[in-house]
Amino acid sequence: IADQTGPRKPWIAFFAAIKITSLTLLWFAAPGSNLFLIVALFSIASVAAEFSTVFNDSMMPRLVPKSEIGRISNMAWGLGYLGGMIALIFVVTCLAGSPETGKTIIGIDPLFGLDPKLGEDARATGPLSAGWYFLFILPMFFFTRDAIRGIAIGPAVREGLSELKSTLAEVRQRSGIFRFLIARMIYQDGVNALLALGGTFAAAMFHWSITEIGMFGIILNVVAIVGCLVAARLDTALGSKTIVLISLVLLSIATIGIVSTGPGYTLFGAWMMPETDSGGLFGTPAEKAYIFYGLLIGLAFGPVQASSRSYMARSVTAAESGRYFGIYALAGRATSFAAPFMVATITLASGSSRLGMAAIVLFLGAGMAILIRTPYPADQPVQ
């Protein structure tokens, strides 16, 4: 439908309004409040964010030459991590207070008189996210050009729906793009599972506190910014496909490293370490080894997503970008349950969370194997 109407900004504005409203209302997620309503608000905000991403990504072929898409995509992803890290540090240092002492991690009272005992510090992150999103979406509206206006919304809806079936048939005939979408669907499942479960796995194994989990997240974000900036340069020189493959190799190595590490050892026991804790954050050698593998994840998980986006943007025309980025988003979400489900199933069947986490390597490896035989750009036929 967006391809028919032309401009993307009205669609982004529509879904931004939904997202901002839903996030703001999360302030009412107080203890004892209606759980169904809170989950509904969170879900609506997530769906609106996904739709906004489709329209945002489909603007890229019109805004930058294809030769520059990889560089811009990685820089933008890195800036996203920077913004998220700044917001996270602000929350941890200035808003999140201890229920026992009422003080934040830097020893001050939470700003705006927030009461941690009432959960107000956590509840404030909803309105904070809404305001942050509104502020930083404004430059896109003010300073980027949009597509020229197409047909009216009514005919566009009818035309768009009629094109849906033909587009799904068309993508199967465009063998290169179809192969790329299948590859991404598989490896993105592994990436999502690794990001979602990696910190939980470590927290259970090393008994990390919320502070250590938060610091692990901040470390990943810092390294992710560096990874995206480096990939921004390399994508132009080497191509998006090469960056995605390198990233998948690093993520596979990191996953193997993670599942091979436990209290007192890493690399499946080939390297034994003392279990003595030096105190402070990540006090044992095994935890430091885990952090090293986390650094590999940080380096790779931004570029694998940013260069996948530029891979797609280089493979379609501006006129068809809306519908193909819609399919691209679908391919990234349609089977997103598969990797976590396999991890959980293997963990329950074997009684080993380590063996369950190892299943992630299968998704990364299978996606990589398909991608190697995918043309670049993907609009070329498979040889």
User: What's the pLDDT at 329?
Assistant: 80
User: What's the pLDDT at 130?
Assistant: 95
CA–CA dist 115, 95 (Å, integer): 9
- Tell me the CB-side half-sphere exposure of residue 153, using CA atoms within 13 A: 4
Is residue 383, in this structure, part of any structural domain at all?
A: no
CA separation (Å) from 214 to 35, 105, 116, 272, 352?
Answer: 25, 12, 17, 27, 25
Is residue 378, in this structure, part of any structural domain at all?
A: no
Regions of the chain short of the pLDDT cut 70: 209-211, 265, 268-283, 383
Is residue 379, in this structure, part of any structural domain at all?
A: no
Classify the C-alpha dihedral 268-269-270-271 as positive or negative. Answer: positive
List the CATH number of the domain containing 234: 1.20.1250.20
Is residue 316, in this structure, part of any structural domain at all?
A: yes
* Other beta carbons less than 10 A from residue 14's beta carbon: 14
Is residue 20, in this structure, part of any structural domain at all?
A: yes
Is residue 282, in this structure, part of any structural domain at all?
A: yes
User: What total of structural domains would you count in the chain?
Assistant: 1
Is residue 380, in this structure, part of any structural domain at all?
A: no
Please give the residue range of the domain that contains residue 256: 1-373
User: What's the pLDDT at 206?
Assistant: 76
Is residue 138, in this structure, part of any structural domain at all?
A: yes
CA separation (Å) from 143 to 21, 57, 63, 136?
Answer: 24, 16, 11, 12
User: What's the pLDDT at 276?
Assistant: 65
List, in order, residues 6 or more apart from 283 with CB less than 8 Å away.
Answer: 277
DSSP string, 21-89: HHHHHGGG--TTS-HHHHHHHHHHHHHHHHHHHHHHHHTHHHHS-HHHHHHHHHHHHHHHHHHHHHHHH
